[in-house]
Amino acid sequence: MTTTGFDYGPLLRGDLPAAAARWNGFPKYNFIGGHNAPENIPVDELIAAATRVLKREGPTLATYGLQSGALGYRPLREFLVGKLKRHAGIDCNADEILVTSGSLQALDLVNQILLSPGDTVLVEEASYGGALTRLTRLGVKIVGMKLDEGGIRMDALEQSLKELKGRGVRPKYIYTIPTVQNPTGSILSTERRAELLRIAAAYGVPIFEDECYSDLVWAGTRPAALRGMSRDGGVIHIGSFSKSIAPALRVGYIVAGWDLLSRMLGCKTDAGSGALEQMVLAEYCAPHFDSHIDTLGKALKLKLDVLVDALAEQFGTAAEISYPQGGIFLWLKLPDSVDTSKLTLAAGKEGVAINPGAEWACDAEWGRKRLRICFANPSPDVLREGVAKLAEICHREFGVPLRSANVGRAAS
């Protein structure tokens, strides 16, 4: 490794995020991140799609934005118009969709046009770690929304908004993952969605609806999206192909009115997201999307059940799980004596990677008894082994579960 002699230190901005750590490969038991099942990547169909679309439109790669402008490859946006109507009850046209480099860029763009330091937003008390990190970096105040098994508790939300209004605070948005909530895996009912829309409108607060996981629902169907139910456009909707097709493609999207998309485009300084992914996705998805997510959903459910069985076997009643309604992760609570941030460090040293609840919660202390396990990527065997190893480490560090896996097995 070359080290540079030139000292850039004094020239760096003072307020930078921490330096990244070097990448040393994936951990053996990779229970973090939104990775998907390698065996479910539709490789042959993607090759066929790439071949077809490049044969037909390859020369358009010579122009920025292909022949579609800054909103993204038009056939992909047109596919999304149909998909969003069919699955999520969203009526929109292709000019109300901005294709982004993953839903992470979507998150950044929404934040960029709305948030300044000192602003307030409402976020589910357990939520996507990447969203929380962004908000913290932006110097935004995060007010947690209480959750129960059905998602956001509307009484508590209304109470929070009332208090904020009393203090003269108009929050910039209510961030919610209503369909397969991250990390709890719950789905907000149609009734609660209606109530959420009513409350948000009453307080003049837009809803920021993140539907990254909503294509993977065990029941096969899901309630209409908040964006679909809204009558006034007070909902910004984002989604992604990362969980439904493949995360490495980095293709997400934003559904919003031109009043907002035109401002986001002003901040999207990358001259468009990658064309090949957009072209291949459009070509692949039009004929295959629905059957693919059906197959993928069934495969993921099998992995989830392996994970749930392994947790029951290894942790017994010590692990209180929220059985998710879809998706790729499971949220669980361990007894109060366990600190999952410490557990994450100890497990990490032995190749078991988990998300500590403190990083997935508005209140780190509340999160510290909880953790998230992603189950889409590992094979069933790796899931079983990893959970056994996690139980062993947790037993060693915290005496929980009372009998470690090995002892349990020896006794049976």
Using CB under 8 A as the binding rule, the residues of this chain from 271 to 290 that contact a copy of itself are 271-277, 280
Asked whether 356 and 344 are in contact (CB, 8 A), the reply is: yes
Interface with a copy of itself in residues 377-406 (CB under 8 A): 377
Decide if 173 contacts 121 (C-beta within 8 A): yes
Q: What is the DSSP string of 32-52?
A: -SS---GGG--HHHHHHHHHH
Residues 289-318, interacting with a copy of itself (CB under 8 A): none
Integer-rounded Cα radius of gyration of the chain: 22
Contact 36, 247 (CB under 8 A): yes
Nearer to a copy of itself, 37 or 347 (CB): 37
Q: Which of 187, 260, 285, 394: binder of a copy of itself (CB under 8 A)?
A: 260
Quick one: which of 76, 140, 212, 251 contacts a copy of itself (CB under 8 A)? 251
Closer by beta carbon to a copy of itself, 4 or else 317: 4
Cβ distance to a copy of itself smaller for residue 212 or 330: 212
Q: Which is nearer to a copy of itself, 66 or 308 (CB)?
A: 66
* Backbone phi and psi for residue 320, each to the nearest 5 degrees, phi listed first: -95, 115
CB of 27 to a copy of itself, least distance (A): 12
Q: Of the candidates 374, 409, 93, which has an alpha carbon nearest to the alpha carbon of residue 256?
A: 93
Task: Identify the residue among 82, 85, 86, 267 touching a copy of itself (CB under 8 A).
Answer: 267
Kindly list the distances between the CA atom of residue 50 and the CA atoms of 45, 59, 83, 214, 275, in Å, as whole numbers in the listed order. Answer: 8, 13, 21, 26, 11
The verdict on 76 binding a copy of itself (CB under 8 A) reads no
The site map against a copy of itself for 160-189 (x = CB under 8 A) is ----------x-xx----------------
Q: What would the two tokens of residue 149 be?
A: 């098994």
Is 219 a residue that touches a copy of itself (CB under 8 A)?
no
If the CB atoms of residues 120 and 341 are measured against a copy of itself, the closer one turns out to be: 120
| Nearest distance from C-beta of residue 409 to a copy of itself, angstroms | 31
Write out the binding residues for a copy of itself, residues 321-360 only, by CB under 8 A.
none
Q: Can you point out the beta strands (E) in 241-345? A: 252-255, 320-322, 329-333
Provide, rounded to whole angstroms, the least separation between the CB of residue 298 and a copy of itself: 16
Residues 6+ apart with CB under 8 A from 262: none
Binding mask 31-70 for a copy of itself (x = CB under 8 A): --xxxxxxxxx-x--xx--xx--xx--xxxxxxxxxxxxx
User: Token pair of 141, please?
Assistant: 């105040």
